[in-house]
């Protein structure tokens, strides 16, 4: 583990401890009646947990034999992912939430974990519909309907 990694882990660990201790002074309250320190307390605990998780990962990395590999396929996939997010941003208003998200998820699934395309398509459509139901119906968010007026 390098010096930068140690400093970074120590920094976030200390921030988590400071936030958790400061939020106790604000009053955590209960889940049914949270105080003003409720969210900061659990955010601090999350920072502490993630910092300790990084320590464990760094220890395991030191024990494992380091292998350096460069893959052009990873860089190609990264380019596909970035471009697909940019296209999603530009077509969201035009095509609407359901179609745009389905296309984005299909591309992401095919680029990261290529399987049979029908499986990726069904997962993309299913996740899009579920997220639409959560955001639009349950949370009452206004999502773009697009030119096909879906949703």
Shared-domain flag, residues 58 and 91 = no
- CA–CA–CA angle 15, 21, 22 (5° rounding): 85
Based on the domain organization, do 123 and 80 belong to the same domain? yes
Q: How many independent structural domains does the chain possess?
A: 2
71-111 confidence digits (pLDDT tens): 545 567 778 888 888 999 999 999 999 999 999 999 988 88
Asked, for residue 143, whether it belongs to a domain, the answer is no
The contacts of residue 81 (CB under 8 Å, 6+ apart) are: 108, 111, 112
pTM exceeds 0.75 for this model: no
Structural domain containing residue 32 = 3-63
Instruction: Tell me, yes or no, whether 87 and 133 share the same domain.
Output: yes
Alpha carbon distance 51, 54 (integer Å) = 5
């Amino acid at each position: 583990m390098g010096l930068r990694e140690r400093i970074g882990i120590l920094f976030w660990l200390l921030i988590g401890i400071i936030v958790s201790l400061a939020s106790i002074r604000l009053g955590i309250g209960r889940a049914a009646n949270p105080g003003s320190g409720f969210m900061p307390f659990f955010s601090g605990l999350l920072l502490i947990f993630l910092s300790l998780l990084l320590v464990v990962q760094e220890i395991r990395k030191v024990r494992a034999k380091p292998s350096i590999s460069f893959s052009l396929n990873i860089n190609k996939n990264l380019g596909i992912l970035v471009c697909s997010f940019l296209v999603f941003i530009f077509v969201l208003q035009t095509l609407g939430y359901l179609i745009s998200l389905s296309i984005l998820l299909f591309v992401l699934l095919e680029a990261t974990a290529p399987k049979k395309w029908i499986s990726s398509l069904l997962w993309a459509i299913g996740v899009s519909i579920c997220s639409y139901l959560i955001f639009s119906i349950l949370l009452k968010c206004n999502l773009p309907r697009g030119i096909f007026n879906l949703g």
